[in-house]
Amino acid sequence: MQQLIRCIYPARHQQRGFTVVEMLVVIPIIVVVVGVLVAALVGLLSSIVISNQRGSLTYTMEDALDQIEQDVRLATKVESKAIAANWAQHFAGDNVLILTQYATDRNPSDTQRELIYLNSQANPCRTQADLAAKLYRTNNPLTVKVVYFVQGTTLWRRTIVPSQYEFNATNPSNNTMCGQPWQQSTCNYTGGPCKALDTRVANNVSSVRFGYATGFNQAASTTPNDSTTVVSA
């Protein structure tokens, strides 16, 4: 019976714990090991976060450059540096890109798009018969401005459509243009001539520089110039 009790309840002297000296030796080692593991984990997580941020920024800038490239391809003219410098003060920036594009009746990337033409005395568009005959297609086309600028730390895209022209398909007697442009004027607010808000192209942009060069048909030429004209795509 005593042996059974000893098996169930061992003697107190057989239960051995940590001494104070052992704890003083082991605890610092555990703290150091845990600290090293935590530091390694934090460093790994920081690297992952930075890598993700860089990847996101890279994709954002690639999208921004693709959008600018598409607008340049659609442009009929890139305004000169002198004009851009005059415009820059209105956009709170030191450099802007100003593109002139033809106004269209639908998205310019749509293959079925048509240009919007201005009314003229020779080929008017002020009756239903005029609109049906479409002789106005020999008139001058309406142009709009596309402006890229940095405000704060954001790269913006603004569209400026001339507001002095109007079109009414039902009652065309007062038409000054021969169609309704797909493009709409944008601002940093809506109201008045502004039909929509500016497009946010990219964030975390401190500044932007647009270079001008001539000799696009000469591979070796990179001569700076005040202006350049590109062919509409």
Predicted TM-score (pTM) of this structure? 0.68
Calpha distance 84→145 (Å, rounded) = 12
pLDDT greater than 90 at residue 191: no
**Structure token digits, residue 119:** 């009314």
Q: What is the number of residues in the chain?
A: 233
Question: Could you tell me the residue ranges of all domains in the chain?
Answer: 75-202
Query: What DSSP string describes 161-210?
Result: --SS----SSSGGG-SBSS--S---EESS-BTTB-EEPEEEESS------
Band of residue 128 on the pLDDT scale cut at 50, 70, 90: very high
Q: Who contacts 222 (Cβ-Cβ below 8 Å, separation ≥6)?
A: 213, 215
Going 212 to 214 to 218 to 222, the CA torsion angle's sign is negative
pLDDT greater than 50 at residue 231: no
- Which range, 55-59, 134-138, 209-213, is most confident? 134-138
Band of residue 64 on the pLDDT scale cut at 50, 70, 90: confident
| pLDDT for residue 7 | 55
pLDDT greater than 90 at residue 16: no
